[in-house]
């Protein structure tokens, strides 16, 4: 396993392959999403972060995930419809992934083994901050909202580097 996520391939929500190395030089906030979760309202804050920091080099990457309470049962097109209609999401969405378990996506294997606390994602809307070199530098539980001062401070710190 490498120390960066740059060589990991993912699928966009439209089904196209994408290498995470394409984001070199950008700060990434990677979030596992669900449309029917108590934290679903965080879509609004994530989109606000996207709008506020996109020009500075932040990319919010959303990975729908049905691993927790089956709270993301929809198809990719239903997920896009929900996110754009209800929350005006313009940040990038990806194909549904498994964040834990035997079918865990390689991205989540890397994310969850890179920073403390190490181990499985515990719920929807867990956030991972990745620096411009593709290294995972911070992990925030679901309870840390996108508007949280600690998350914003970490984003500002990485963008300033």
CATH entry, 9-160, from 3.40.50.360, 3.50.50.60, 3.30.70.260, 3.40.30.10: 3.40.30.10
Q: Note the pLDDT of residue 158.
A: 98
Q: Note the pLDDT of residue 1.
A: 40
Give the β-pairing of 17-19 and 9-11: antiparallel
Catalytic residue among 37, 99, 107, 144: 37
Based on the residue annotation, tell me whether 65 is a catalytic residue of this protein: no
∠ at Cα 111 (68, 21), nearest 5°? Answer: 120
In order of 19, 24, 25, 49, 161, the CA distances from 145 in angstroms are: 28, 25, 25, 11, 23
CA–CA gap between residue 102 and residue 133 (Å, rounded)? 28
- Each of the 161 residues of the chain gets a pLDDT tens digit; together they read 447 999 999 999 999 999 999 999 999 999 999 999 999 999 999 999 999 999 999 999 999 999 999 999 999 999 999 999 999 999 999 999 999 999 999 999 999 999 999 999 999 999 999 999 999 999 999 999 999 999 999 999 999 99
């Amino acid at each position: 396993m490498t120390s960066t996520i740059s060589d990991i391939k993912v699928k966009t929500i439209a089904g196209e392959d994408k290498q995470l190395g394409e984001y070199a030089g950008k700060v990434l906030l990677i979030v596992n999403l669900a449309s029917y979760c108590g934290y679903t309202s965080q879509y609004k804050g994530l989109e606000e972060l996207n709008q506020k920091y996109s020009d500075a080099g932040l990319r919010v990457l959303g990975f729908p995930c049905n691993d927790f309470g089956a709270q993301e049962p929809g198809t990719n097109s239903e997920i896009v419809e929900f996110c754009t209609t209800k929350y005006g999401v313009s940040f990038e969405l990806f194909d549904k992934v498994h964040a834990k378990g035997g079918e865990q996506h390689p991205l989540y294997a890397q994310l969850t083994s890179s920073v403390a606390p190490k181990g499985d994602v515990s719920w929807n809307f867990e956030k991972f901050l990745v620096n411009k070199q593709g290294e995972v530098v911070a992990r925030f539980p679901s309870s840390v909202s996108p508007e949280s001062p600690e998350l914003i401070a970490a984003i500002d710190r990485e963008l300033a580097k």
